[in-house]
Chains A and B, each alone.
Chain A
């Protein structure tokens, strides 16, 4: 998967590209721990709507976030073929529920453009940059923003 020529250039980023709610997104591969199939999560009381619940990841209890719903898009349709991308956010582990992983790309940092100045708050908060690739627009997710702040911090 990893081509030695790519890593030689320190400015090259490897990105996991995936699809949800008919849009393309990507994440730095270094923040992805694993990609796994869908399992039914246990609901959490009083959780925001985009937190689907928690699953058991080899003994750790990991919250599952519906990425589409987190970004203000229509929530993902229940489907056994949905995929969970397990990511590390700081010291926390969270699973992002998405439709499908499509690609793994090596992109020079220079090809990542800043997020266009759009009005939508959610876009500005969660999208770190965009990449144009074969007429597709790939949005780079800022995962540090994804976990619910209030739910996580309120003790």
Chain B
């Protein structure tokens, strides 16, 4: 592995560490009292520093070191925690992320930003501007006997457990560049460490081979950290050394001095009271606890190039299709089927389904990392707009395809900036209207009828429809005489060239409008809708397909074509009486379903497969659910089958078709289109290029 590769690995790890750090910082800010939280943040920053040191990234090391020092002080209760400090932590965390990004891209950073963040840290920590102590980043010399273990030892008293760690690096450790001194040094930071060296294997100078490892250490560590945390020190090195960590029933002289622990808790509780009345503290504490509990058994993960997974997904999709084709072919061949053949086919079907499900689950990822990134956006946006805002996230564990998560980041960022910048009112105005000073932006994700719904709502002033209409008229987007419904006015925001901000602010108004957001979402096969209540806030809903996932579909026949309806959206199928159909308006039909009238759509005519609805082609009606909870009755000619289908995008080779979500390949190798019931209900799906009904006058 070349050093370039190692560097890439480092930056990938940095991303995970930054996420962990950010999470910890937010927990602290929200009033977490678990000492493990500070430790987690400290560890993350420390690991970044360590890695950066190995690649001689001086800026990063220096800043991480100072950040770490303050964190260490907090950890050891040397400085009092207060909300300002947590704020400074968040800023420092953001800056650290910037430095990592800059180091990755090889860009120079503005040193004054580092200084500012440090100054804020020191101020909030109640310390003077400490003189910048530079950090040793030169590669450590292999000198195990001259080990100085009295480095920054955050010893918090003789408490905790005793571990005996026997470390014997293998020869491969030298090739891999591991340094026992560094490992022991890291151990020393976890508690009180005493080491003895076993140099018995060391040959005399003539027989010495620098590529061989001769030394071994036995270290006794008195620490309050868990076994898992000690093991974490050896995370990278454990393959290259013989390691034995055991807890010894060592004399624990005194019980842990409790007051030390309780004190910071007290102050943190005050913070809770200040920061949020909403968050019930016990829940938080429990959540934190369960989190630290899960770190005890770190899950094994591997990193894989996404392209490899994609290739696997494609091949497995083919496998499933061919398995279906094989079964169909054998069935139709009219051969006498041996029991063994049948069993084999059955096994094959089950196995291919299992493979498919496992492969799909590789690509599906929780939206949590994406949502976590948005905290920073809200922080920065509110600071720039001189507002205070808080982001609440819900349904973070909702799993969405990785590609969608990645491509969602930009539109979501923009929407959040908009929500803070335009959505939330100025502080004074909020107080005037009886709201709390702090604006709340809520971001949530959920699965709904085979799609993923991402909702972004703010508790701001809602859309000023008069003003929106005025702006649209003055920009020539709509004629002055246009008579628009409230929802039509709201949708004006998505028109290209629309921007209500009279002054172009630093945040939004960068020439990227909501129209770009809309087209980006549409590129993912999704939709954005907007709803707003004056004085109460605005809600934007993004509805996304679970592409690349498999879909349980109902295969229906319309005008001789086979189409697939997502089973998840189907409520029921029925064969209605002719009297249940009623015409309404010109050309629209509603269906009486047990007293409720539901719009009835003939799929064949809506998709242009036939001109007129055949009088009564024994049609079957499928009742489906739309994103907005409304029902829709779809008329089809027949129901053929219910099966699992692999979703194949149409966008790549052709383009988006109104009313169609994607395509799939059926058992006989032919293509069938997958219907998108919600989009089918859109009047615009009956004719192309009618996406902006308002502007086209």
Whole-angstrom distance from the CB of A99 to the nearest CB of chain B?
Answer: 23
Interface-facing stretch out of B330-338, B619-627, B663-671: B663-671
A4 CB within 8 Å of chain B: no
C-alpha gap A152/B673 in the complex (Å): 16
A46 touches B607 (CB 8 A): yes
Chain B residue at minimal CB-CB distance from A48: B688
C-alpha gap A91/B607 in the complex (Å): 27
User: A45: which B residues are within 8 A, CB to CB?
Assistant: 606-609, 657-660, 673
User: B689: which A residues are within 8 A, CB to CB?
Assistant: 150, 154
User: A56: which B residues are within 8 A, CB to CB?
Assistant: 321, 665, 669-671
C-alpha gap A83/B335 in the complex (Å): 32
Whole-angstrom distance from the CB of B277 to the nearest CB of chain A?
Answer: 44
B314 CB within 8 Å of chain A: yes
Chain B residue at minimal CB-CB distance from A56: B665
C-alpha gap A45/B519 in the complex (Å): 21
C-alpha gap A93/B654 in the complex (Å): 8
A42 touches B562 (CB 8 A): yes
B648 CB within 8 Å of chain A: yes
B317 touches A55 (CB 8 A): no
User: A152: which B residues are within 8 A, CB to CB?
Assistant: 654-655
Given contacts A59-B317, A151-B654, A155-B522, contact A46 B608 (CB under 8 A): yes
A92 touches B653 (CB 8 A): yes
C-alpha gap A152/B656 in the complex (Å): 7
Could you tell me which residues of chain B, from 601 to 635, have a CB within 8 Å of some CB in chain A?
606-609
Could you tell me which residues of chain A, from 7 to 60, have a CB within 8 Å of some CB in chain B?
39-47, 51, 53-56, 58-60
Q: Which has the most chain B C-beta neighbours within 10 Å: A42, A94, A152?
A: A42
B523 touches A155 (CB 8 A): yes
B648 touches A46 (CB 8 A): no
User: B670: which A residues are within 8 A, CB to CB?
Assistant: 39-40, 42, 55-56
User: A43: which B residues are within 8 A, CB to CB?
Assistant: 561, 609
B657 touches A93 (CB 8 A): no
User: B657: which A residues are within 8 A, CB to CB?
Assistant: 44-47, 151
Per the CB 8 Å criterion, the residue count for chain A at the interface is 32
C-alpha gap A39/B666 in the complex (Å): 14
A61 CB within 8 Å of chain B: yes
User: B410: which A residues are within 8 A, CB to CB?
Assistant: none
A93 touches B561 (CB 8 A): no
Chain B residue at minimal CB-CB distance from A54: B671
User: A93: which B residues are within 8 A, CB to CB?
Assistant: 653
Given contacts A59-B318, A154-B691, contact A44 B653 (CB under 8 A): no
A123 CB within 8 Å of chain B: no
Query: Count of A-B contacts with CB under 8 A?
Result: 95
Whole-angstrom distance from the CB of B318 to the nearest CB of chain A?
Answer: 5
User: B658: which A residues are within 8 A, CB to CB?
Assistant: 45-46
A59 touches B321 (CB 8 A): yes
Given contacts A150-B688, A155-B522, contact A60 B648 (CB under 8 A): yes
B530 CB within 8 Å of chain A: no
Whole-angstrom distance from the CB of A90 to the nearest CB of chain B?
Answer: 10
A104 CB within 8 Å of chain B: no
User: A148: which B residues are within 8 A, CB to CB?
Assistant: 655
B359 CB within 8 Å of chain A: no
Could you tell me which residues of chain A, from 58 to 103, have a CB within 8 Å of some CB in chain B?
58-63, 91-94
- Size class of B's contact patch? 35 or more
B653 touches A62 (CB 8 A): yes
B653 touches A153 (CB 8 A): no
A59 touches B672 (CB 8 A): no
C-alpha gap A56/B658 in the complex (Å): 21
Whole-angstrom distance from the CB of B84 to the nearest CB of chain A?
Answer: 47
A63 touches B659 (CB 8 A): no
Could you tell me which residues of chain B, from 639 to 697, have a CB within 8 Å of some CB in chain A?
648-650, 652-660, 663, 665, 669-673, 687-689, 691
C-alpha gap A114/B95 in the complex (Å): 59
User: A41: which B residues are within 8 A, CB to CB?
Assistant: 671
A44 touches B317 (CB 8 A): no
A44 touches B673 (CB 8 A): yes
User: B655: which A residues are within 8 A, CB to CB?
Assistant: 148, 151-155
B318 touches A44 (CB 8 A): no
B688 touches A154 (CB 8 A): yes
Partner of B648 from A44, A53, A59, A92 at Cβ < 8 Å = A59
B649 touches A61 (CB 8 A): yes
C-alpha gap A144/B255 in the complex (Å): 79
Partner of B653 from A40, A42, A53, A94 at Cβ < 8 Å = A94
Whole-angstrom distance from the CB of A77 to the nearest CB of chain B?
Answer: 20
C-alpha gap A150/B687 in the complex (Å): 13
B671 touches A58 (CB 8 A): no
C-alpha gap A155/B689 in the complex (Å): 9
User: A60: which B residues are within 8 A, CB to CB?
Assistant: 648, 652-653
B671 touches A55 (CB 8 A): yes
User: A47: which B residues are within 8 A, CB to CB?
Assistant: 657
A61 touches B607 (CB 8 A): no
Whole-angstrom distance from the CB of B609 to the nearest CB of chain A?
Answer: 7
Chain A residue at minimal CB-CB distance from B675: A45
A61 touches B663 (CB 8 A): yes
Write the A112-155 contact mask toward B (1 if CB under 8 angstroms, else 0): 00000000000000000000000000000000000110111111
C-alpha gap A91/B609 in the complex (Å): 29
Whole-angstrom distance from the CB of A59 to the nearest CB of chain B?
Answer: 5
C-alpha gap A85/B212 in the complex (Å): 62
C-alpha gap A94/B654 in the complex (Å): 8
C-alpha gap A65/B688 in the complex (Å): 19
C-alpha gap A94/B652 in the complex (Å): 10
Listed from nearest, the 4 A-B pairs whose CB atoms lie closest are A45-B607, A152-B655, A155-B522, A42-B671
| Residue ranges of A at the interface with B (Cβ–Cβ < 8 Å) | 39-47, 51, 53-56, 58-63, 91-94, 147-148, 150-155
Q: Can you list 23 residue pairs at the A/B interface with Cβ under 8 Å?
A: A39-B670, A42-B561, A42-B672, A43-B561, A44-B654, A44-B657, A45-B609, A45-B659, A45-B660, A46-B657, A47-B657, A56-B669, A59-B321, A59-B665, A60-B648, A60-B653, A61-B648, A61-B654, A61-B671, A92-B652, A92-B654, A147-B654, A152-B655
| Residue ranges of B at the interface with A (Cβ–Cβ < 8 Å) | 314, 317-318, 321, 519, 522-523, 561-562, 606-609, 648-650, 652-660, 663, 665, 669-673, 687-689, 691
